[in-house]
Amino acid sequence: MGCDNKKNNLSSCTCTYSSCDKKGNCCACVAYHRDNDELPACFFDEKTERTYDRSFRNFVNMFNKRGK
């Protein structure tokens, strides 16, 4: 399914996995990662995003390292 907002979404997408077919289609991106107990790339800071580990655990660890 296409996304009417793809161009706009891509302008703020922080995902570095450029070959992903869901890039810019946020509905599909969220659904995919939710089904895998993960979060989309845009929830992670730049350094953590580049690990490609989108797990809840990695997200929590990122915040714990920040002291938040």
Q: Which residues lie near ligand SF4 (CB under 6 A)? A: 15, 17, 20, 22-23, 29, 32-33, 40-41
**Minimal distance, residue 32 CB to ligand SF4, in Å:** 5
Do the Cβ atoms of 54 and 40 come closer than 8 Å? yes
Closer of 40 and 62 to ligand SF4 (Cβ): 40
Nearest CA to 11 out of 26, 30, 1 is that of 26
Nearer to ligand SF4, 52 or 67 (CB): 52
Based on CB atoms, which residue is closest to ligand SF4, 2 or 67? 2
Burial class (CB in 10 A: 0-12, 13-18, 19+), 44: buried
Taking the complex as a whole, the smallest distance from the CB of residue 41 to ligand SF4 amounts, in Å, to: 4
Could you give the CA distance from residue 68 to residue 62 in angstroms, rounded to a whole number?
9
